């Protein structure tokens, strides 16, 4: 299932649609020039849409909902852990230093939550996943003021569903969940299905960055930045539909 998800994720990405659509169009042109031309034209139109801020506004903004309340306004106490999903961090192989990538503000947000809601002796942990976290995310969290032996690593988790099950098995039942706003509804659903009470703490409002600016001519011009956001949005929509089918139709 994990490998299938990866393949489907590439197929429905803007680049996947471009390569597969153009390839299909070229093949069809050998048999019927008109149909092949229509497929190529439709592919270019879809890829254009998924490479513009217009596309971000249409398929990205609805994922995020309203912005979350400021840190400090949530209920104090009673959390077993702060769950930091991903974190947008990595390690540069050649020089060994930590690198901050897209979504790295999740780490900063988790550190702010820690300072706001952690009390001495309350036993609250911070969970992380990913093989590079010990060399990248944890050092940054230390620099941001997260102290002590508080980290729980779940390196074997390959996706959010697996991570939720592992965290639940570790006895953690109430968490502050930190992830990108566009990913929060699906992540919350998966954690609740694993028997964990979730208090949302979203950040990384990728789509809001586009929606807060008035619509204009530049929204119709393709850009790599817009294409990246649309790729995230497409993957998230497919994920939501996939899990809905898995839990509702297949009953798993």
* pLDDT tens-place string over residues 231-244: 999 999 998 988 88
User: Degrees (nearest 5) of the Cα angle 212, 208, 5?
Assistant: 155
CB neighbours of 200 closer than 8 A, spacing ≥ 6?
68, 177, 184, 188
pLDDT value at 69 more than 70? no
Length of the chain: 252
Span 176-205, mean pLDDT? 93
CB neighbours of 74 closer than 8 A, spacing ≥ 6?
116, 117, 176, 199, 201
User: What CA–CA distance (Å, rounded) separates 172 from 48?
Assistant: 45
pLDDT value at 86 more than 60? yes
């Amino acid at each position: 299932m994990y490998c299938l998800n990866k393949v489907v994720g590439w197929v429905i990405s803007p680049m996947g649609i471009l390569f597969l659509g153009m390839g299909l169009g070229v093949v069809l042109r050998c048999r019927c020039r008109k149909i092949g031309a229509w497929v190529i034209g439709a592919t270019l139109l879809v890829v254009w849409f998924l490479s513009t801020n217009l596309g971000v506004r249409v398929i990205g903004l609805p994922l995020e909902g309203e912005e979350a309340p400021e840190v400090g306004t949530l209920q104090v106490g009673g959390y077993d852990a702060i769950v930091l999903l991903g974190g947008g961090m990595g390690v540069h192989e050649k020089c060994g230093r930590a690198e901050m990538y897209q979504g790295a503000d999740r780490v900063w947000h988790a550190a702010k939550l820690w300072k706001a809601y952690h009390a001495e002796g309350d036993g609250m942990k911070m969970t992380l996943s990913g093989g590079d976290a010990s060399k990248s995310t944890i050092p940054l969290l230390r620099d941001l003021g997260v102290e002590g032996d508080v980290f729980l690593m779940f390196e074997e988790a390959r996706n959010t569903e697996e991570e939720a099950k592992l965290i639940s098995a570790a006895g953690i039942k109430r968490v502050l969940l930190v992830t990108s706003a566009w990913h929060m509804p699906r992540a919350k659903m998966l954690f609740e299905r694993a028997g964990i009470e979730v208090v949302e703490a979203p950040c990384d409002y990728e789509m809001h960055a586009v929606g807060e600016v008035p619509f204009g001519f530049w929204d119709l011009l393709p850009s790599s930045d817009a294409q990246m956001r649309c790729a995230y949005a497409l993957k998230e929509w497919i994920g939501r539909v996939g899990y809905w089918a898995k839990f509702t139709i297949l009953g798993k």
